[in-house]
Amino acid sequence: MTNPQILDLLRCEVVPAIGCTEPIAVALCVARAKELLGCEPDAITVHLSKNVYKNALAVGIPNTGMTGLPIAIALGATVGKSEYLLEVLRDATPEAVAYAKDYMLRVPAQIHINYEAPSILYIHAEVRKGDQTAEATIMDEHTKFVVAQQPREATQPAEGTEPCEATQLASGLNLRRVYDFAMEVDTNDIAFLKEGAEMNTAAAETSFADQYGHGLGRLLRPTSNSDSGLVSNSVNALFGNSLFTKIISYTCGACDARMSGAMVQVMSNSGSGNQGISCSIPVYLYAKENNCSEEQTLRALALSNLTVIYIKQSLGRLSALCGCVVAATGSAAGITYLMGGNYEEITYAIKNMIANISGMICDGAKPGCALKVTSGVATAIFSAYLAMQHSFADSTEGIVEDDIDRTIRNLTRIGHDGMQVTDDLILDIMTHKQ
């Protein structure tokens, strides 16, 4: 019988998004403040937690050909609609972008890092027109407004942007509950997961048509007809026309497009499009290429997505650990299930992932995220195959324990508690390059 709370959690955390979610959340916050002001502002100030700033510093903004916060803020103030949530820039047409670029020069935003922010995910926007001001604050989740204040009015919650109550359930999850839900849920209730995987796969195909980011997905594509000449030929000769190569090329291709500012919609997971890409495309393509049934595909996608949600709830929305690798852990679980694995083999696959690349740092959203996606997804496939051979890291190895939930908690403790100094150092390096 389907657990309605877990289903609500899945629906809350797996949602469409356009663009990298940190600058998009900043645009969302500015858009909401602008709407409360009631007119286009002539001054904008934003205060951001260090992790939001880190992830918004160098990533492409959809349909603009530009990177970073200034253009995202300008679009939020001119064309953004808060009702669209993580698709706040849905209406960023070429004409709207041209206007926003001019507006950005006329009304340069003041951007500040709040090192004492009350949350690792914190965005505060204040907008002004003459002597009138309005403000909005997002905290903890990318669409969770905790302050929305109109001129001369008391603080009030933003309409239609209340946090998902189901997220509170996640603290009571464990891997067994995740697995049981995925095996028992009515597949009609999770059809949206396959739609999301198809959406993410379409984003990858966008990247094959042009040069985005480092072009890794396009380069690795086994059937590529690109004009990369000898390089393309040597890549195909090395990797071959294999499912392994296809999975990697599509997954990192979607990331290539998204991180470079392509106007593509993706299905996100736990507030991250790259996480949604990394936990859906590998599972979906493996199922498709192996002629798995509709039911098997949907259950594998549910297992993958919910595993990521479970891990992220104790790791946090943003951290010094790369979220793409965490999301690839979900793919390892989903692919193991599609290979015929049961709960035991799935725990083995997750242990293999945690024993391998769990220390990969997050140094901000950028085109290079595709390289990390590639590492995570390749390791997920290796981990699944090893798990099916009952070969796995055990409690004698590093942070792995016999209990899978304690093993996961060891990983998230390192990312959430143990790497605070690392996070500060990463940002210091990023903001003081010579």
* Residue pLDDT, tens place only, 208-241: 988 888 888 888 886 545 444 445 566 677 777 8
> In 3-state terms, what secondary structure has residue 184?
helix
Structure tokens that stand for 7 in this block: 């289903």
**244 belongs to a structural domain:** yes
Beta bridge mates, 272? 269
Same domain for 179 and 315, yes or no, is yes
Is 350 found in the same domain as 276? yes
- Residue 311 confidence (pLDDT) above 80: yes
In single-letter form, the type of residue at position 57 comes to L
By residue range, what is the domain housing residue 196?
166-431
Cross-strand bridge partners of residue 48: 113, 123
Kind of pairing between the strands at 43-48 and 122-129: antiparallel
- Read off the pLDDT of each residue in 327-356 and give the average, rounded to a whole number: 97
CATH of the domain at 326: 1.10.4100.10
* Whether the Cβ atoms of residue 19 and residue 62 lie closer than 8 Å to each other: yes
Helices and strands (H and E) in the chain: how many? 17, 9
Residue 60 bridge partners (DSSP) = 67
Same domain, 235 and 344: yes
- pTM of model > 0.85: yes
Question: Is the same domain home to 215 and 351?
Answer: yes
pLDDT, tens only, 417-429: 888 899 889 989 9
Is 155 inside a domain boundary? no
Residues 198 and 291 grouped into a single domain? yes
Cβ-based neighbours of 58, under 8 Å, separated by 6 or more: 67, 68, 364, 365, 366
The CATH number of residue 110's host domain is 3.30.1330
CA-based Rg of the chain, rounded to a whole angstrom? 21
- DSSP-based three-state secondary structure for 109: coil
Task: List the one residue out of 170, 121, 128 whose CA is nearest residue 146.
Answer: 121
Rounded Cα distance, 325 and 312, in Å: 11
Residue 252 lies in a domain: yes
Residue 395: pLDDT band with limits 50, 70, 90: very high
Single out the residue in 94, 114, 149 at which a domain terminates: 149
Sign of CA dihedral 185, 189, 194, 199: negative
Size of the chain, expressed as the number of residues it contains: 434
Residue 11 counted as domain residue: no
Phi first, then psi, for residue 394 (nearest 5°) are: -110, -170
Tell me, yes or no, whether 10 lies in a domain.
Answer: no
Answer whether residue 349 shows pLDDT above 90: yes
179 shares a domain with 106: no
The structural domain count of the chain equals 2
192 and 272, same domain (yes or no): yes
Written as six digits, the tokens of 92 are: 């960023």
The strand ranges marked E within 130-282 are: 132-139, 145-149, 265-267
- Own/partner pairs for 95-103, CB < 8 Å, 24+ apart? 97/63, 97/64, 100/64, 100/71, 100/74, 100/75, 101/64, 101/66, 101/71, 101/74, 103/40, 103/74, 103/77, 103/78
pLDDT band at 316 (very low <50, low <70, confident <90, very high): confident
Does residue 274 share a domain with residue 207? Answer: yes
> Does residue 156 lie in a domain region?
no
Give residue 239's pLDDT: 74
Phi, psi of 390, rounded to the nearest 5 degrees: 60, 35
Say yes or no to pLDDT of 353 above 50.
yes
Q: Which residue is listed with tokens 């072009």?
A: 215
Domain boundary residue, one of 124, 149, 174: 149
pLDDT exceeds 90 at position 43: yes
In DSSP terms, 128 is beta-bridged to 43, 133
Is there a single domain that holds both residue 217 and residue 354?
A: yes
Q: What percent of the chain has pLDDT over 70?
A: 91
Same structural domain for residues 419 and 310?
A: yes
Last residue of a domain, one of 100, 124, 149: 149
- With vertex at residue 15, the alpha carbon angle to CA 12 and CA 16, rounded to the nearest 5 degrees, is 165
| pLDDT (tens digit per residue) in 108-121 | 999 999 999 999 99
352 and 245 co-located in one domain: yes
Determine, yes or no, domain membership for 5.
no
Q: Running DSSP on this structure, what letter comes out for residue 417?
A: I
| Alpha helix ranges (H) inside 260-320 | 273-289, 294-315
Domain assignment of residue 154, yes or no: no
- Residue 260 tokens, joined: 């470079």
- Say whether both 232 and 352 belong to one domain: yes
What is the rounded distance in angstroms from the CA atom of residue 24 to the CA atom of residue 80?
10
